[in-house]
Amino acid sequence: MIASALKAMLGLLPDGGIRALVDVGFARTSAQLREACADPLAAQNARLAAILTRNANTEAGRRLSFARVRSLDDWRHAPLCDWDDVAPLVDRMVQGERGLLVDEDPIYYATTSGTTGRRKLIPVTGEFVAECRVANRVLYRALLSTMPGLLRGKRLSMRSPRAERLSARAECGSITVALSGGVDDDNVLDAVPTAVFAIGDFHARYAVALRFALQEQLTVASAINPSTLALFADTLAQRATALAAACDEGGFGPDDALLRDAAGALAVDDDARRALRARLRRAPDAAARLRASANAHGAARMRDAFPALCGLVTWKGGTSSWWLQRLERSYGRLPTLDYGYAASEGCFGAPLSTSGPGDGAASLLLPHGHVIELLPEGDTDGTRALALHQAEPGQRYAVIVTTSAGLYRYRMHDVVEVVGRHDRAPLAVFRHKEGTMCSITGEKLGEAHVAAALATLGWSGPGLCMAPRLRDDGPPGYLCVVERDDAVDVEGLGARLDAALGAANEEYDAKRRSLRLGPVVVVAVVPGSFVATRRRRVEQGAPDAHVKLPLLSPDGSLLLALGVGADDARGLAAHGRAP
Among the listed residues 157, 275, 286, 284, the one whose alpha carbon sits nearest the alpha carbon of residue 222: 157
Compute the distance between CA of residue 150 and CA of residue 305 in angstroms, rounded to an integer. Answer: 17
**Alpha helix segments (H runs only) across 255-301:** 270-277, 284-297
Q: What are phi and psi of 422, to 5 degrees?
A: -120, 105
Rg of the chain on CA atoms, in Å:
24
Give Cα separations from 242 to 45, 204, 239, 252, 299 (angstroms).
Answer: 57, 12, 5, 8, 13
The pLDDT-based confidence of 104 (bands split at 50, 70, 90) is very high
pLDDT at 457 over 50: yes
pLDDT at 412 over 50: yes
Confidence at residue 115, expressed as pLDDT on a 0 to 100 scale: 32
Helix (H) / strand (E) element for 445: namely: strand 445-446
Percentage of residues in the chain having pLDDT higher than 70: 94
- Say how many C-beta atoms besides its own lie within 10 A of residue 556's C-beta: 26
Cβ-Cβ contacts under 8 Å for 411 (sequence gap 6 or more) = 80, 81, 82, 398, 399, 400
> Average pLDDT, whole number, for the chain?
90
pLDDT at 418 over 80: yes
Question: Domains of the chain: which residue ranges?
Answer: 15-129+339-433, 148-334, 437-569
Confidence at residue 182, expressed as pLDDT on a 0 to 100 scale: 53
* C-alpha of 289 from chain center: 30
Among the listed residues 51, 162, 173, 184, the one whose alpha carbon sits nearest the alpha carbon of residue 108: 173
Average pLDDT of the segment spanning 277-300: 97
Give the max Cα distance, the chain.
71
Which of the pair, 185 or 59, is modelled with greater confidence? 59
Q: Name the 3-class secondary structure at 53.
A: helix
Cβ distance 114 to 537 under 8 Å?
yes
Cβ distance 342 to 328 under 8 Å?
no
Residues 388-411 pLDDT 10s: 999 999 999 999 999 999 999 999
The pLDDT-based confidence of 117 (bands split at 50, 70, 90) is very low
The pLDDT-based confidence of 319 (bands split at 50, 70, 90) is low
Confidence at residue 577, expressed as pLDDT on a 0 to 100 scale: 58
Cβ distance 487 to 298 under 8 Å?
no
Confidence at residue 12, expressed as pLDDT on a 0 to 100 scale: 76
Residues 132-143 pLDDT 10s: 999 999 999 999
Give the least confident one: 126-130, 361-365, 455-459. Answer: 455-459
Which of the pair, 269 or 200, is modelled with greater confidence? 269
Confidence at residue 185, expressed as pLDDT on a 0 to 100 scale: 55
Compute the distance between CA of residue 222 and CA of residue 448 in angstroms, rounded to an integer. Answer: 22
